[in-house]
Structure 1
Amino acid sequence: MSSAKQLIGVIDVPGPERDALAQTIARDGLAVYAADGVEELPPGTALIVAHARAVSHGDWERLAASVPTLVVSDERQDAELLRAVDAGLVDYIIDPLRHGPLLRRMIGKAIEVHRLAAERERDRERLAHLNENLEELNESLETHLAMLRLDQQAGGQIQRKLLPPRPQSVGGVTFDYWLAPSLYLSGDFLDFQRFDERYSLFYFADVSGHGASSAFVTVLLKYLSNRWQQEWDGRHPERLAARWLAALNRELLDAGIGKHATLFVGVIDHQRRYLHYSLGAQLPMPLLVAEGEVQALPGEGMPVGLFPDVDYPSLGCPLPAEFGLWLCSDGILECLPGDTLDGRLKELERRVLASETLEDLRGSLALEHLADDDEVVAQSAPGHEELPDDLTIMKLSGFGNDKP
């Protein structure tokens, strides 16, 4: 509201001088109401112009506390003028009838200052109220985060229980792995199981994203792989891996959860020392180390859970008497130097060739400081928030100690 629409109260002794003062103020269109005392002023009075002679010295503080007040006087040495100033009145002017324009300008300025002060006070009150609400919201958020943290931590421990025991040896092949989730739950998952005296089955999966939704897919994968293994009759091992991937592709698409995965599925024929496998966009490809050389297993396939009616390849290769088969999730590539993907893949091959154990490779990747014990990893999560992604390394080696 503009100052021209504000009501100005004039307190003065009744008579021609008060009328003249009111007329002086009203010349710029200000609304003026003249009264003998503050009690007679109507509600909504924006500012008071009080003559020093009309207010007793005991009323100045009460007047200053009620409405912004300008004091006028006919002489500078007026004792009441000094008392008014001491009481905290906003300003004063001497001989107001001679200084009408100045008086009106002071009135407008005083009203504006009072308006701004009132706005600041309202802002402070709103801010204080907002801070109270934020504190309550933060407390509620901390409570919910604590509950979510406990749920995620419990989920991570359960997920770790679904992983196979490590290390283990079956038919001369030793299996071991290391998995570090970047959060409580991991989108990386793997398994290794003995089917019978001749065959062992394993897979290595990296579900898109990480966290709860990706972890749920790994639980589904564990359930489906166990079911499909029970349904397999041990015949045509060369077809099993590709059939698994095709079935999982259908399951993920039918679920409609918007998740896909990269997988490598293998069937080891211990009798023939042969690896049957299939893959769905596995990156980096498994690395086979034998006789001092390293090579990526050949083959390519589409991701699982993105496209319908995908045919996955049926591939295979013989396994030397002494071999190491390394599988790594794509998060490992973030730990390697190099400006290009090919450069990082070559660097991974070099470090795998120089590593005898999982600990050797972890050390070369500067990951040896991360927990190695499964329970420690699960309970301390998310202790690996500095990781760019879930990290998993899996190694199969044999047949140097060929024992049933």
Structure 2
Amino acid sequence: MDASKPLIGVLDEPGAYRDALADTIARDGLAVLAAERLEDLPTGTSLIVAHARAVPSLEWSSLTERLPTVVVSDSRLDADLLTAVDVGLVDYVVEPMLHGQLLRRMIRKAIELRCLEDERTRDREHLAELNEHLEELNESLETHLALLRLDQQAGGQIQRKLLPPHPQTLGGVTCDYWLVPSLYLSGDFLDFQRFDDRYTLLYFADVSGHGASSAFVTVLLKYLCNRWLSEWDGKNPDQLPAQWLTALNQELLDTGIGKHATLFVAVIDHRDHWLHYSLGAQLPKPLLVADGKVMELPGEGMPVGLFRNVEYPRLKYRLPSNFRLWLCSDGVLECLPGDTLDMRLRELEQRVLTCATLERLRDSLALNAPRDIVTEGEHSGEELPDDLTIMMLSGFGDDHE
């Protein structure tokens, strides 16, 4: 017997009728094995052809649960056939010897349906296993996301601790700022530090992207600037900002992390009221408000961390007795009306001109963000399009009206 062929078991009383029935089924290449009892058939049997008289009435149900079954009978009125139909056997043939071709077709169809049902069962089992696996993966993912969220929240707390106190006044110049990360960590950063009675250093940075990798760059920036400030001898303040940008440019390129930043670095001379500064592609450019007018600080510079051998400009501007110097990250531009970048920049100029305090400018932007993420250390959990930062310096005789 060919093992590749489905085995058809014939259940009937031994005799010429059973042999003839087996021969009828065996045509067209079907493998057939005749037996008097189900227990006599091998386990690899694919289908049972049972004569109505060969199976006791109470055994039809258990038989059909084990294997696909086709019933044959010599009469439609056979009581045993009616019993088989009553338990759900609808595949039956009356006078099978006269309808051999129909019987074989029914057998093949029943085997095909059984194969499909087995395949569906395997698919359901596989799907159930897959769903269970997905549930486990989802639970693991939720756990990892929760840990990541906690890590980012902790990182945000550390990042906020690195920011300077605000508002604070050094040498007649007051610094205040508002910083909101897009989620927990920010790629924006700033500092305002007193060097001595004459000089104060400040910088305003916007690292490309946002999130953990950008926040790590701000920590590096804080560390480097603290180190460089401690090494400065207080001489040549006009050269310091450009030197810092050059050194930071080299540091970012050497790390190979693919991050760059826009920066404004400055030294305030409190005695002579000079602002010594350098620009690293800061956008929007620093805006100076004095005598009822607003202007961009002059100068241009390349981003930090993109190109080697960049020379950054050495710039200075004499600060008036009463001034407000505004620094904004590019995320603020997304909160302003206007179809073009130039329109939004002009809108920002008008707003800083009319807003005497940081709170007024912030409120004019109508931002759906926490009032002060820096001091409160809270976040709504809703991601903003970009980090948002505003820094305002005012002095020397500015009364903040």
Q: TM-score, normalised by structure 1?
A: 0.94
Question: Which residue of structure 2 lines up, in the alignment, with residue 162 of structure 1?
Answer: 162
Residue 249, structure 1, aligned to residue 246, structure 2: no
Superposed counterparts of 1:197-346, under 5 Å: 197-346=197-346
- Tell me how many residue pairs correspond in the alignment: 397
CA pair 152-373 structure 1, distance change in 2 beyond 3 A: closer
Question: Which residue of structure 2 lines up, in the alignment, with residue 111 of structure 1?
Answer: 111
TM-fit CA distance, 1:369: 4.7
Question: Which residue of structure 2 lines up, in the alignment, with residue 381 of structure 1?
Answer: 379
Superposed counterparts of 1:30-179, under 5 Å: 30-89=30-89, 91-179=91-179
Question: Which residue of structure 1 lines up, in the alignment, with residue 14 of structure 2?
Answer: 14
Of 383, 392, 395, the residue aligned with 1:395 is 392
TM-fit CA distance, 1:401: 5.1
Aligned equivalents of 2:212, 2:201: Cα separation in 1:
26
Residues 90 and 110 of structure 1 are in contact (CA less than 8 Å); yes or no, is this contact kept in structure 2? Answer: no
Provide, for residues 309-332 of structure 1, a one-character-per-residue CA deviation record: whole Å limited to 9, x for no partner. Answer: 111111111212111111111111
Stretch deviating more after TM superposition (75-84 or 306-315): 75-84
TM-fit CA distance, 1:193: 0.8
Look up the equivalent residue of 2:388 and give its one-letter code.
Answer: L
Aligned equivalents of 1:349, 1:104: Cα separation in 2:
90
Gaps of 5+ in 1: none
Provide, for residues 276-305 of structure 1, a one-character-per-residue CA deviation record: whole Å limited to 9, x for no partner. Answer: 110111111111111222111121111111
Residues 370 and 380 of structure 2 are in contact (CA less than 8 Å); yes or no, is this contact kept in structure 1? Answer: no
Match of 1:63, SS state, is helix
Match of 2:29, SS state, is coil
Look up the equivalent residue of 2:18 and give its one-letter code.
Answer: R
Look up the equivalent residue of 1:145 and give its one-letter code.
Answer: L
TM-fit CA distance, 1:87: 2.7
CA pair 159-248 structure 1, distance change in 2 beyond 3 A: same
TM-fit CA distance, 1:162: 0.4
Provide, for residues 124-181 of structure 1, a one-character-per-residue CA deviation record: whole Å limited to 9, x for no partner. Answer: 1111112222222222222222222222111110110000000011121110000001
Look up the equivalent residue of 2:152 and give its one-letter code.
Answer: Q
Look up the equivalent residue of 1:157 and give its one-letter code.
Answer: Q
Superposition misfits of 4+ residues, deviation over 4 angstroms: none
TM-fit CA distance, 1:354: 2.2
Aligned equivalents of 1:295, 1:81: Cα separation in 2:
102
Aligned equivalents of 2:58, 2:88: Cα separation in 1:
13
Residues 179 and 373 of structure 2 are in contact (CA less than 8 Å); yes or no, is this contact kept in structure 1? Answer: no
CA pair 253-4 structure 1, distance change in 2 beyond 3 A: closer
RMSD: 1.8
Look up the equivalent residue of 2:332 and give its one-letter code.
Answer: I
Aligned equivalents of 2:136, 2:4: Cα separation in 1:
44
Provide, for residues 343-369 of structure 1, a one-character-per-residue CA deviation record: whole Å limited to 9, x for no partner. Answer: 221122122222121121122211265
Match of 2:238, SS state, is helix
TM-fit CA distance, 1:206: 0.9
Question: Which residue of structure 2 lines up, in the alignment, with residue 361 of structure 1?
Answer: 361
Match of 2:324, SS state, is strand
Look up the equivalent residue of 1:48 and give its one-letter code.
Answer: I
Residues 4 and 30 of structure 1 are in contact (CA less than 8 Å); yes or no, is this contact kept in structure 2? Answer: no
TM-fit CA distance, 1:86: 2.8
Match of 1:97, SS state, is coil
Q: TM-score, normalised by structure 2?
A: 0.94
Aligned equivalents of 2:237, 2:4: Cα separation in 1:
95
Residues 181 and 382 of structure 1 are in contact (CA less than 8 Å); yes or no, is this contact kept in structure 2? Answer: no
TM-fit CA distance, 1:81: 1.4
TM-fit CA distance, 1:371: 2.9
Stretch deviating more after TM superposition (359-368 or 160-169): 359-368
TM-fit CA distance, 1:15: 2.0
Provide, for residues 109-138 of structure 1, a one-character-per-residue CA deviation record: whole Å limited to 9, x for no partner. Answer: 111111111111111111111222222222
